[in-house]
Structure 1
């Protein structure tokens, strides 16, 4: 068998673990399943003689029909942990050991919520005995590496027995209990056990050798700092052995193994210095002679982000040769390892009791000399390493068997599968490429090799998977297609093997589908012809290239036709428009027009408001002017005639109310009266404390001006302090109004000879001594 599961060319390219074909679970042929409410079906024991398959799960043990595990004839023993122990994580009873103890009973051990227990099972009644202590036989947890065997009613186990203990290989009662040494040289370093096996080397042995138990594990390599590193990983795969008849030493190595030795297992690609150091599982294939015994290991790689696996085959003869080689030793307090070059004691350390030793009086290990035992104590590691075998065959046929099935365990179920499904391979190449050891090509179909007694006519190539089908001609499916010039055409090709690559040819000429001017593109879904041309007409064939062999899958006869006149011509494509600015786009123009209209409308509204405001101000200014001439015109004509001459000087007097916001003429501004410019005669009446009317009330109409009496004395005054000698009478106005008196006479003095300034000063002087009335009728000066 080869050292890896995948072809060598794939293993050499980063060790891809791609499977050739995949099958859905629902499409498995002959698959039978066993389901139960329990989980973690981790322990299997097949008994061909009784036709039973024993399954150890979490909290239960099942007895199934080995011919059909899906039948309802299963038996069950429930062995749960107590309710108090189930309150914690993983506090269940996981069955870790399930072995035959004798001809009538089985023996099982469970974790029992981190308190291991063991019990016997009566195979006939399928009943469990009372549990017994199992701390030295079973690990505490369900995931701890563990292996166990029962040989001649003696239990050999290897695991980490306690939470903080070191890994150990032990043999329990009734024989003397033995275990590995931990000082001064620890025999095991963080070991993770995966399997064990008994090899009956005493059968037909010319030297009278003893049977041996082999243990397989992965541990931390303490010798990796020297020349024997053999890789960059700090963990390596090991095989250790002990003798079945070992009884320990008398004084040295008392209750310790005297035959313990270990060596390294190599599973690698030496040309790339690529090592698979993590041992996952082991399988022993016994033979008639112990030296012909083979074992197969599944190895893994954990290096950075690389995940890969391989299967390596080893010969027991090479392992025995490694145990007969040189030893390793430590120097400088164990910091450096090297090959031991000194004298080796006699008898050879680590060997079992043979006829030659018995002849010397050494019948048991307790009789071995102390120097031999002390050497074993300090030199448990061998310098030689066991390398895998390479050969022409992956699996030999062997004698016919009763059940040719594979039993698979899953966390929640068990599945029973036939070893071969040869009917799935429909062609010679498919049968040969599969490299299935149970299948071969008989010239017409892929058949199972086991029922055939004469296998000389069967074609099988397990090692290379490429020879034997040279004269086989497989019918190829052909299709015809007609396409027009300029069309794109996809030619599909389904490759069933994940290890095959599609290859296309046109009229026997290989196509390269990645050129810029090739006109074709190839992919996993087929071949794409781009913009078909008349010269691309021809026979296209798809091949599946695997193991340097091309197998035709499908052919296409492609005809590229010119467009005929009877066909309706295609409408010519419109000429491309000249590039234009986005601003001249119709939609953009419409938006621009709306924006301009909105702006103009806003300007019109603003101008309208301004004009209305100005007009309102002008109207308010006109209402605030009063003309004495107009008021006098409302009097009767007789009175107006008699008094016309007396008050000529007052006929041009204008009264203006200065209020709100339209003041009209400014103070001191020049006015034209009767063609003359008058600058000055203004009198401002300061608002008093009288009542004010609402702004909204319209002013009362101007009353007619009364005549000014001539007989009043200069001392005659009104109640508001105004002298009666003022040249004109003032109408009663609101207290918050301003009254301007404008005289058009050239003389600015009163008729009584007082100047206007003197009269005003006199009035202001009296105002200082006059008590202001609470509600004056007129404004104050």
Structure 2
């Protein structure tokens, strides 16, 4: 498979105006194998190839060999100018030059990427690259090229090229993947302003701008800022903020090349055990045989996420979770395809990178018996049916029944939420829930009848006062609807 379709070209200007760095996007033309590649070229290599020999098919096998014949003047590939023959346009070239170009469209030597390989290669990811712009950023340990790559689903990838051993051996670090447009639509154009520090992105549906740096998304710790390896950002002693090369603050910490937090943040103590114990445990309920996701997203795109499990109550998570067809680790967290009672326990989400480990999330999973939950829901339906029958018998009309009683700590307006189900399931007097509901509903009906009786039998000053309030209420109603009156006739 070849990446033989050129999508976009970006020229990154350098101090030598005649030798910019060329960034290109290639895609496959195959409808089966979809992929995209980003390559970097040197203008000197391109110039050297076009000044070399032309390719020519010769012999019975029609192999491509170097053309040894005469090359017409001006040489094909030379820009028209007054210096080379006095031509102002290629339209003025002699017919001999045009015929030679038609019969020799290829050069013998290819132009190879600067790193002898693509900088970035993506296959079978559900999207293709469409546009690219590059910004050369000055960091504490050198200059880095940050690539902003647009896709046909409305996302932008922020990638930095980092040298491994030498500046010729580059490693691509994905810093961010940003969803620019709500609807997935191809990004058709993209421009960058290094002066304003903004990226301008256009599609068929609109135009938007995006800041080149968003240092706050990397976290609130020195290690997280260092692990991000973003040349735009550095730790200033209190937060991850924009890095300025001219800043005189010596406390700014940045390590784009290695991303080593143990060296840059050595004065801060990080411990996995202490970090886990101090983190608040989130209680999560799951129903037996249903799907469940324990969400955990690391700040760094390069972090390795692992899950630890402790089965006993109060036991810290120590054993690594066994992954299989039912329990899978995804990019968004730990996915259960059908929970079991044995999945109950404490779960710890841990991220590790460059020898540094930290706790991201801590969960306490409680799996509920499906039969027990079904029984509870059935009891609630029966109670609601009895309430409707009682209201119909007493002539209360088709008004909806009062809401069921809520447990302490339940949501407002008497709504019975999921946590209330859990408390009812574990309640020692589960059988008396219906009786308790009936008592509350009868108490509310007696209170409602009592208020109606007082309104009918009380007279005198209280009755007059009530009548006065009703008149005032009607007056306000008339003023509210006064604009709806028809205009008077003249």
**Which TM class, normalised by the smaller chain length?**
0.3 to 0.5
Q: Rg bigger for which structure?
A: 1
- TM-score (ref. length: structure 2): 0.43
- TM-score (ref. length: structure 1): 0.29
